[in-house]
Amino acid sequence: MSQFLELKKNAEDLRRSKQFKEASQLYSQLWDSDNGKSDIWIGWGYAFCLRHLQEYDKALQICRKVYKMKPDFRYNNDVYAWCIYYKKISKNDVSEELTFLKAAEGILKLSKQAKYSPYEVTVFKVLDFYNKKPIFPASEILKWTARLDPIILDDTTFEGKTKDGKKKELASRKEKYYMLRIKALFENKNYTECIELSEFALKNFTKFHYDNDIWFQRHIANSNFMMGKLDIAVNQLKDVLQKKKEWFIQKEIADVYFRKQDYKNSLKYAVASAINFGKIENKIHLFELLYEILIALKNPILAKKHIEMVCLIRKKNQWKFNDDFSKLLSKLKINTENLPQFNTIKSELKRNWEKLKYSDKIIKNGIIKTILPHGKAGFVLSETNESYYFPISNINFHPKQLIEGLKVTFYIEDSFDKKKQQNSKIAVNVNLIRGK
């Protein structure tokens, strides 16, 4: 056996036994020889060892030369792609977007979606990058999710940690694919496809993370709304609201009723949305809707207050007024330099929202029957001996005052019991009966 072949065999044996440093030294001698520079297997073996030694720059130099010799050499292309991934893609912070995306395109050109390929993980790195953008780039999300075959995506979940260090199960790549693509289809106004893909996901996944099943149902409902199927949409959104009582879902129901010209129900859900928990600066479109509803219901004074609130929020956050909003301010004769104090108008609107929300409900009297051990909820007993659950967020007095036997007034509202997975009734707007 010639000295070259013996050296090559020793390098291969060391590589197979994962002694990459020793193997790379032999491959270096082989590669620098006249015979080695034309041997794609020596080039691949050398680059393979360098990759495992995290010497990515040197490995990339070798891979490029081997690629020129044989562009369709799969083994070299896999190492080439992985080296690009570790050098340009794996970092969490993307400092140069064009370089990052060019590298990702290079990886997808070199590799295919397979178990030990960097193809799939690269696509998800790009999707994570786009998903963090301040404005959701639906067209780019659609472009990159289209490069994946969801059938062969891994459905294995990941393990993460919460902020307090507890273990948390994270969604699989397959579930994440559906989550991102469904959202992008809706934002891109592909409503029929959005419904079809959402229904497919709901049918085929047995377990969901981050309440994705609820959000898929919401996308179906809002797609129907955008396509003008108002009765279907409003019923679907109400089902979603029973499971996830968020202010923006209430606002979406109000939108549907407003389109139906059912202003009474639109107002009901809009004021519930306004009262519900959520950052006030995120609710400017809700307040604009409330203005439209109240104008339709011939309550221009209260309607105007909502535009004043929108104006104050925009000024506070230094957001520009667009032409339509400026015209509305002029029409309502609102002087932006002579507005009420923010907290003053906020308190005034809150009183009006409370009044409107409970105007058609019957106030009930009762006592605090039970406070649960964790102190975050309890049960109130009505005068007719009916017991209703309430979370502490539904009381309108300091939690330290909450004791069993306390006399209170409250209203009853529809809710959803997640543990029992059924509709329920809860006590809301729980107030002390003063002087008793």
State whether residue 334 is helix, strand or coil. coil
- Asked whether residue 178 carries a pLDDT value surpassing 90, the answer given is yes
Cβ contact 274:290 at 8 Å: yes
> What ranges do the domains of the chain cover?
3-132, 259-360, 364-432
- 181 Cβ neighbours under 8 A, 6+ residues apart: 141, 142, 145, 197
- Asked whether residue 436 carries a pLDDT value surpassing 60, the answer given is no
Helix axis angle, 138-145 to 119-131, nearest 10°: 170
Amino acid at 56: Y
Higher-confidence position of 297 and 398: 297
What was the pLDDT predicted at 435?
63
Exposure class string for 123-160: b at 16+ Cβ within 10 A, else e: bbbbbebbbeeeebbbebbbebbeebebeebeeeeeee
Residue 421 pLDDT level (bands cut at 50, 70, 90): confident
Query: Please, which residues bridge with residue 192 across strands?
Result: none
Q: Which residue has the tokens 């509202």?
A: 413
CATH number (3.40.640.10, 1.25.40.10, 1.10.10.10, 3.40.50.620) of 3-132 reads: 1.25.40.10
How many other CB atoms are there within 10 angstroms of residue 316's CB atom? 11
User: What does pLDDT average to over the chain?
Assistant: 93
What was the pLDDT predicted at 70?
96
Please state, in angstroms and as integers, the Cα–Cα distance from residue 264 to each residue in 283, 301, 360, following that order: 20, 17, 11
The closest of 56, 34, 38 to 47, measured between CA atoms, is 56
- Asked whether residue 1 carries a pLDDT value surpassing 70, the answer given is no
The mean per-residue pLDDT over the stretch 335-356 comes to: 92
- Which ranges of 88-244 would DSSP assign to H, the alpha helix? 97-110, 119-131, 138-145, 173-187, 191-204, 212-226, 230-243
The closest of 395, 390, 394, 385 to 365, measured between CA atoms, is 385
Higher-confidence position of 391 and 360: 391
Lowest-pLDDT range of 27-36, 77-86, 332-341: 27-36
The mean per-residue pLDDT over the stretch 410-428 comes to: 85
Cβ contact 226:191 at 8 Å: yes
Domains 3-132 and 364-432 fall in the same CATH topology? no
pTM: 0.84
CATH number (3.90.550.10, 2.40.50.140, 3.40.50.2000, 2.30.42.10) of 364-432 reads: 2.40.50.140
- Which ranges of 85-153 would DSSP assign to H, the alpha helix? 97-110, 119-131, 138-145
Residue 413 pLDDT level (bands cut at 50, 70, 90): confident
Give the pair of three-digit tokens for residue 116.
């030990």
Give the pair of three-digit tokens for residue 152.
């062969």
Query: How far is residue 19's CA from residue 25's CA, in Å, rounded to a whole number?
Result: 10
The mean per-residue pLDDT over the stretch 281-302 comes to: 97
Q: Which residue has the tokens 């056996």?
A: 1
pLDDT tens-digit profile of 202-252? 999 999 999 999 999 999 999 999 999 999 999 999 999 988 989 999 999
Rg (CA), the chain: 31
> 3-state SS of the chain: helix, strand, coil percent to 5?
60, 10, 30
Give the pair of three-digit tokens for residue 216.
């898929």
Query: How far is residue 37's CA from residue 56's CA, in Å, rounded to a whole number?
Result: 19
How far from chain centre, in Å, is Cα 393? Answer: 25
The mean per-residue pLDDT over the stretch 89-116 comes to: 92
Please state, in angstroms and as integers, the Cα–Cα distance from residue 43 to each residue in 188, 212, 288, 357, following that order: 46, 47, 65, 74
Query: How far is residue 177's CA from residue 44's CA, in Å, rounded to a whole number?
Result: 33
Percent of the chain with pLDDT over 90: 81
- Asked whether residue 389 carries a pLDDT value surpassing 70, the answer given is yes
How many other CB atoms are there within 10 angstroms of residue 247's CB atom? 19
Query: How far is residue 329's CA from residue 122's CA, in Å, rounded to a whole number?
Result: 49
How many other CB atoms are there within 10 angstroms of residue 23's CB atom? 25
Query: How far is residue 93's CA from residue 149's CA, in Å, rounded to a whole number?
Result: 27
